[in-house]
């Protein structure tokens, strides 16, 4: 039985044209993900807004096990085109976070965040195939200079999440996403029998030396 409740916030009618499609797409992605790993019953809150990834026209946020927030910008062409199942991929990413929240949680250290984001990115690929996302494929010459800093900051709880993952400070945009994705890539390369769907509860410490 599907245990997902989708709340589309639409008092201003900004999502009327998309509501039925969003409902069906998010629900089917949840069902597809649930075949691969246990998922908590979930409330999904969908709203229109401009606080999205410009290249995608949407953004997701999973702050706890039972809730995912999805923002879509109906004015953004990328959202409307939904190239390569873009919104399904984003939602799959958030669903892995939701699964991880049932176990160790997203985490409070930089290392835990890297592992959580890397696993979520790989789960999206596991579900839909295709290419890694834009934020998961920075070139090695961009990422490599920060390897020792990643090591040194692994246990820090006072790390600047927005700087590491969104480039709001002096760090390259999306550095944390690519570093986390690459870390999980290296782990899976030596553990080919494993998949992201099987690793929602893994302890981040086990992966530190894959940075």
Q: How many CB atoms lie within 10 A of CB 23?
A: 15
The residue extents of the domains of the chain are 4-102, 110-210
10-residue mean pLDDT series, the chain (211 residues): 89 97 97 96 97 96 95 96 95 98 97 98 97 96 96 97 95 98 97 97 95 91
Phi, psi of 68 (to 5 degrees): -125, 130
Confidence (pLDDT) at 202: 97
Residue partners of 147: CB distance under 8 A and separation at least 6: 211
Q: How many CB atoms lie within 10 A of CB 109?
A: 17
Quick one: pLDDT at residue 65?
Answer: 85
What is the predicted pLDDT for the residue at 8?
Answer: 98
Say if CB 115 and CB 184 are below 8 A apart: yes
DSSP code of 83?
G
- Output the pLDDT for position 1: 56
pTM of the model: 0.96
- Give me the pLDDT at residue 2, please: 64
d(CA 92, CA 128): 9
Rg (CA), the chain: 17
> What CATH class does 4-102 carry?
alpha beta
Do strands 42-48 and 67-72 pair parallel, antiparallel, or not at all (unpaired)? parallel
CA atoms of 211 and 186, how far apart (whole Å): 8
Looking at residue 32, its pLDDT comes to 97
Residue 203 Cα distances to 23, 30, 57, 104, 107, angstroms? 34, 24, 33, 7, 10
């Amino acid at each position: 039985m599907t245990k997902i409740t989708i709340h589309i916030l639409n008092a201003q009618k900004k999502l009327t044209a998309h509501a039925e499609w969003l409902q069906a797409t998010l629900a089917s992605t949840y069902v597809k993900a649930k075949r691969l790993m246990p998922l908590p019953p979930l409330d999904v809150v969908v709203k229109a807004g401009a606080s999205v990834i410009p290249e995608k026209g949407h953004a997701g946020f999973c702050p706890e096990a039972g809730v995912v927030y999805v923002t879509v910008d109906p004015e953004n062409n990328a959202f409307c085109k939904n190239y390569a199942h873009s919104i399904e991929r984003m939602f799959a990413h958030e669903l892995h976070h939701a699964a991880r929240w049932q176990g160790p949680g997203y985490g409070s250290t930089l290392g835990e965040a890297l592992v959580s984001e890397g696993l979520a990115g790989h789960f999206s690929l596991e579900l839909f195939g295709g290419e890694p996302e834009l934020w998961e494929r920075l070139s090695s010459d961009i990422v490599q200079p920060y390897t020792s800093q990643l090591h040194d900051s692994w246990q820090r709880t006072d790390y600047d999440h927005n700087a590491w993952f969104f480039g709001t400070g002096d760090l390259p945009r999306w550095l944390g996403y690519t570093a986390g994705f690459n870390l999980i890539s290296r782990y899976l390369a030596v553990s080919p029998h494993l998949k992201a769907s099987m690793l929602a509860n893994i302890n981040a410490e086990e992966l530190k030396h894959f940075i």
